[in-house]
Amino acid sequence: MAEPTLYLFDGHNLLYTGSFAEPRELVDQLASFVALSGARGIVVFDGSGDDQTYGPLEVVYAPNADTVLERLAAENRDTETVCLISSDSAVRGTSGQEVQKRSSRTFLGDLDRPQHETSRHGEASRYRVSDRVDDETRKRLEEMRRGQGSGQ
């Protein structure tokens, strides 16, 4: 299965599934995730607010987030590898077979789980992607995530 190039996030679904103090905390974590993944993402929240972009992550507010997520999945599934993150079975069911789907709980568990990689000596080492980048790269990714730099 190909790695997703577009992640569609059900904002409030993730917010209430995780242990986030506020939406900004979730947005920061998602922006870092998509930047480190080399993908882009769109997080959709129910309600009103200012749409914003943080590097490769767009934050969108809509009267009905489910409808927007379904539309975005349908619009992009033929041209990109799309992954929908939501625990709402109706949204996941209508997004199409071509779309990868993960529940919010599974995604958040994977997000916090250290990755396994075998060293050249055959030992398994455990660390997160963010632990593998040097300080300069981490700084550039943070600038990209906040929309303050080109990442160059």
Distance CA 90, CA 10 (A): 12
User: Rounded to the nearest 5 degrees, what angle is found at the Cα of 95, between the Cα atoms of 85 and 7?
Assistant: 35
Nearest by Cα to 26 from 3, 47, 44:
44
Q: Give, for all 152 residues of the chain, the pLDDT tens digit.
A: 678 899 999 999 999 999 899 999 999 999 999 999 999 999 999 999 999 999 999 999 999 999 999 999 999 999 999 999 998 876 766 666 789 999 999 999 988 755 444 444 444 334 444 555 566 766 766 676 666 655 44
Would the pTM count as exceeding 0.85? no
Q: Which CATH superfamily is domain 6-113 in?
A: 5'-nuclease (3.40.50.1010)
Beta bridge partners of 118: 124
